[in-house]
Structure 1
Amino acid sequence: MSDRFAVGIDADSRTLVVAYHGTKGSFRIANSASAINKWLSSLPVKCCIGVEATNRYHELVVQAAQKADHAVFVLNPRDIKHYAKGVACRGKTDSGDAQVVARYIAKEADNLHEHVARSTAQERLHVLLQQRDSLVRNKATLHLSLGADAADSAIFGRIFRGLKEAIAMLDREIQRLCCSGEQSDLYRRIMTIPGIGPTVAAFVTHHITRWPLASSDAWVACTGLDPRPNESGARIGRRRLSKRGNASLRQILYMAAMGLTRSKGGKPLYLAIRERGHSSTASFNILARKLARIAWGVFKSGRDFDPAMLKVGQACFQPA
Structure 2
Amino acid sequence: MEHHILKVALGVDVSKDNLAVCLCRLTVNLTKEFEDPFEVSNDLPGFKKLIRWLDKQVASRENLWIVMESTGIYHEAFVYYLYEAGFNVSVMQSGRVKRYAQSLDQRSKTDALDSRMLAMLGCERALPLWTPPDPILRELKGLSRERSFLLKEKQIEKNRLHASEHSVYSNKRELRRYKQRLKLIARQLEEIEKEMMELINASSYLKGRIKHLESIPGISFVSAATVVGETLGFTGFTNAKQLTSYAGFDVVLKESGAYKGKTRISKKGNKNIRRALYMPAMTAVRCNPTLKKFYERVKPTKAKPMIALVAVERKLLVLMYSLWKNEINYDPEYEQKKTARTEVLAAQDRSNLALTSS
Match of residue 144, structure 2, among 122, 125, 129: 129
Aligned partner (choices 263, 272, 281) of residue 287 of structure 2: 263
Is the 8 Å Cα contact of residues 141 and 232 (structure 2) preserved in structure 1? no
Superposed displacement of residue 81, structure 1: 4.2
Could you tell me which residue of structure 1 aligns to residue 16 of structure 2?
13
1:100 maps onto 2:117 in alignment: yes
Residue 239 (1) aligns with residue 263 (2): yes
Partner residue of 2:40 out of 29, 32, 35: 29
Moved >6 Å (runs of 4+):
231-236
Residue 242 of structure 2 corresponds to residue 225 of structure 1: no
Q: TM-score, normalised by structure 1?
A: 0.81
> Which residue among 69, 75, 84 is the counterpart of 1:52?
69
SS at match of 2:46: helix
TM-score with structure 2 length normalisation? 0.73
State the aligned residue count: 310
Structure 1 equivalent of residue 171 of structure 2 = none
Q: Which amino acid aligns with 2:121?
A: Y
Q: CA contact under 8 A between 1:208 and 1:296: conserved in structure 2?
A: no
Aligned partners of 1:13 and 1:31 also within 8 Å: yes
Unpaired segments ≥5 residues, structure 1: 316-320
Separation in 1 of the partners of 2:85 and 2:246?
Answer: 28
Q: Percent identity?
A: 23
1:32/1:314 CA distance change after superposition, 3 Å: farther
Distance in 1 (alpha carbons) for counterparts of 2:122 and 2:156:
37
Report the RMSD for the aligned CA atoms in angstroms.
3.3
- For the pair shown, which has the larger CA radius of gyration, 1 or 2? 2
Where in structure 2 are the equivalents of 1:104-253 lying within 5 Å?
A: 104-107=121-124, 109-110=125-126, 112-140=127-155, 146=160, 148-149=162-163, 153-181=175-203, 182-206=205-229, 207=231, 209-211=233-235, 213-228=237-252, 238-253=262-277
Corresponding residue SS for 1:183: helix
Task: For residue 128 of structure 2, give the secondary structure of its aligned residue in structure 1.
Answer: coil
Q: Equivalent residue of 1:91, what SS?
A: coil
The alpha carbon displacement at 1:80 in A equals: 3.7
CA distance in 2, matches of 1:161, 1:64: 41
Q: Deviations 1:275-300 (Å, cap 9, x if unpaired)?
A: 33452121111111221232233224
> What per-residue deviation string (whole Å, max 9, x for no partner) do you get for residues 22-55 of structure 1?
4354322222234314422442313221222122
Moved more, 265-274 or 248-257: 265-274
- Decide whether the 8 Å contact of 2:14 with 2:68 is kept in 1: yes
Change (3 A) 1:92 1:202: same
Change (3 A) 1:244 1:72: farther
Gaps of 5+ in 2: 25-32, 166-173, 341-358
Answer yes or no: is the 8 Å Cα contact 1:150–1:157 preserved in 2: no
- In the aligned structure 2, how far is the partner of 1:208 from the partner of 1:49? 22
Offset, 1:190: 0.8
Higher helix content, 1 or 2: 2
Q: Is the 8 A contact 1:208 1:219 kept in 2?
A: no
